Amino acid sequence: MNLSEELKKHGLRKTSFRLELLALFQEITSSLSAEEVKNRIAGKTDKVTVYRALDAFEKSGLIHRVPGKGNVTRYALCQTECGSDNHLHNHAHLICNVCTDTFCIEDVEMPVIRETNGFNIQSSKLILEGECPDCQK
């Protein structure tokens, strides 16, 4: 599917910045912070435009938030069919201790956690720390 069709499918207006942003997310294998997006996309894009686009992409189900080193919010492309009403993510994230990128790890089986000791568990996150394949070289 081409970039314009992907934006349309998620109910997003096609702008040159959004097309470039989606292309950026499709070419990377890890995640990006808002600051990294701003630095990677050429032109005079201000922070407000970056944050609005990231917010729109997240609300539409194109990207999801992932944890980052130092509590920096990072974003990664959704690999499942997410929608505006819910994100269908139930996978682990690895934070690389060397490059500090965050990667979605789809092939780790997530533990099923039910109510325990009176707590009502509504969601869980599995965060792994280690080294990504590039940093192990």
pLDDT tens, 1-22?
Answer: 689 998 998 889 999 999 999 9
CA distance 88 to 85: 10
Q: What pTM does this model have?
A: 0.78
Q: What is the pLDDT of residues 33-55, one digit of tens each?
A: 999 999 988 777 888 999 999 99
Q: Tell me the average pLDDT across 77-93.
A: 68
pLDDT given for residue 37 in this prediction:
93
Task: Name the band, by pLDDT with cuts 50, 70 and 90, for residue 86.
Answer: low
CA distance 7 to 11: 6
Q: Give percent above pLDDT 70 in the chain.
A: 91
Mean predicted lDDT score pLDDT of the chain: 85
- The number of beta carbons lying within 10 Å of the beta carbon of residue 26 is 10
Position 113 in a domain: yes
Provide the CATH number for the domain around residue 84. 1.10.10.10
Count of domains forming the chain: 1
pLDDT given for residue 105 in this prediction:
85
Position 137 in a domain: no
Position 43 in a domain: yes
Beta-sheet strands, E only, within 44-132: 63-66, 74-77, 92-96, 102-105, 127-130
CA distance 112 to 62: 26
H-assigned helices in the chain = 3-9, 16-27, 34-40, 47-60
Position 117 in a domain: yes
Full residue range of the structural domain in which residue 86 is found: 3-132
CA distance 83 to 38: 25
